[in-house]
Structure 1
């Protein structure tokens, strides 16, 4: 199992619009990557937005980050402050309820 993680700082007060754009734009792009397993977005109190995608191989996690960064640059730029960072790697610990 591999995770693709993207993180950015949102402009204050944009959480609802970010969620709408992500649901309509990012989810179809990311879930179309071969090996897709799950997608989560966390919006922290300091306006940090973290998107976590889970895949069954590393190449897919990297491809998801490539697609997501390109999409965010075009679709989320007015809602974000600064650059979006991205990392991918193996999940070394996980558990389910």
Structure 2
């Protein structure tokens, strides 16, 4: 899989308008490219837009880079963008969210789900610490030795 990342600096106060314009006119074009997987356009702050396009092949990524270069030269002069920073490359590591629900063990309703996802062996659900409390070395050792004692007894 390959990616194209572009970063645009546009005229002051035009980010929202430029994003709507790109969504309406550019996104349908990029979807038609060979090997298209997904495309994101994000507000990066300070009158900057960034885009990330994912493609199955290098040719698709290079086609997207060329399409973006031509389209933005022709269609975005009213936003007066500076020449964008462009990166095209192969994705060398990736991860994705699996279908597990997001769980916050601190919420009573989520504790049962967390126990199912993590398993009863690895989480007993009894530890309660505030955000300002930090585990010390002695806490870690005593917790670890208690686990060893439980495993040895079981």
After TM superposition, is the score higher than 0.5? yes
Alpha-carbon deviation of 1:49? 1.1
Alpha-carbon deviation of 1:5? 1.4
RMSD over aligned Cα atoms:
1.2
Indicate the structure with greater strand content.
Answer: 1
Alignment of 1:23-38 (within 5 A): 23-38=23-38
Unaligned residue ranges in structure 2 (runs of 5+): 98-154
1:37-76 CA distances to partner (integer Å, 9 max, x unpaired)? 0000121122221111100000110010100110001111
What CA distance in whole angstroms lies between the structure 2 residues aligned with 1:15 and 1:7?
A: 12
User: Which 4+ stretches in 1 moved above 6 angstroms?
Assistant: none
C-alpha contact (below 8 Å) 1:3/1:54 kept by paired residues? yes
With normalisation by structure 1, the TM-score equals 0.91
Match of 1:3 in 2: 3
What CA distance in whole angstroms lies between the structure 2 residues aligned with 1:79 and 1:47?
A: 10
Unaligned residue ranges in structure 1 (runs of 5+): none
Structure 1 or 2, whichever has the larger Rg, is 2
C-alpha contact (below 8 Å) 1:29/1:68 kept by paired residues? no
C-alpha contact (below 8 Å) 1:5/1:52 kept by paired residues? yes
With normalisation by structure 2, the TM-score equals 0.59
SS at match of 1:82: coil
